[in-house]
Structure 1
Amino acid sequence: MTLRRLALTAAVALTCLAGCANGGQSGSPAPAAPSAIEVSSVPAPSDSSAPSASSVPSAGDITISGTIDAGVEPGCILLDKHLLIIKDDAQKSIATAGATVTVTGHTVKGMMTTCMQGTPFLVTSIQVS
């Protein structure tokens, strides 16, 4: 009886493996790939002097001043327990560990980062103090 159960279990396992190996389908062809979705692009504004969205303060922004500290992870910078998230390259060049700055922006609840510390703070402007 035990040998019979073992043989049945082995047969079921082999059938499952064979089904998984061909994608779980029994001789039917694979479904066709979905067709590409066409996405229209919005042209960039022609006026290059217009401020970027990341540099325009909005209602609810706060201002923090102090000295930037290096985080425990590479590329992470902190100011007063806030993890500075800077999208503008010119602003990034100003924000270095040891710099005394004034930043304007807002906290971002639920933002995932690899920095492991600080409350994410999206910087809209930064000035060296």
Structure 2
Amino acid sequence: MMIRRTTLLAATALALSVAGCANGGGGPAEPVGAPAPQAPASSAVPTEETSTPVDTSTRTISGTISAGVEPGCLMLDDNLLIIRDEKLRPAAKDGASVTVTGRSQPGTMTTCMQGTPFVVTSIRAN
């Protein structure tokens, strides 16, 4: 009977210490439903990288379309062509010499894994 009591005490002590580690290693537990701590607002001066606006003005690019590294992805120079208008798709083929008009949209999520997304609004063969 003495061994069982010792085992029970050891198991209880282990469970309590694991519960303390799960709480971040000390300090009182946060109440359930308490708001997460907020980081203080930064008063740092914006860096050039964050303060430089992204150029999303309409641009025209000419060149030869090439296939991207992923199936269905088309590249023109370092631009990933995003063609949302189905009427424009027939002119956009690998190897086609074209002039496209549209806007760069960095940050747009794609599965192509390369290039700067460029949303095409018009395309014509050269």
TM-score by length of 1: 0.57
Give the one of 69, 72, 77 matched to 1:72: 69
Q: How many residues align?
A: 83
* 2:59 equivalent to 1:62: yes
1:5 aligned partner, one-letter code: A
2:121 aligned partner, one-letter code: T
CA drift at 1:2: 4.3
Match of 1:45 in 2: none
CA drift at 1:7: 5.2
Deviation digits for residues 14-39 of structure 1, max 9, x if unmatched?
xxxxxxxxxxxxxxxxxxxxxxxxxx
Unaligned runs of 5+ in 2: 1-5, 20-55
Question: 1:113 aligns to what SS in structure 2?
Answer: coil
> Cα RMSD over matched residues?
2.4
CA drift at 1:123: 0.5
Unaligned runs of 5+ in 1: 14-58
TM-score by length of 2: 0.59
Deviation digits for residues 59-86 of structure 1, max 9, x if unmatched?
9211000110000100100001100000
CA drift at 1:5: 3.3
- Identity among equivalent positions (%) equals 57
Structure 1 residue runs of 4 or more that deviate by more than 6 Å after TM superposition: none
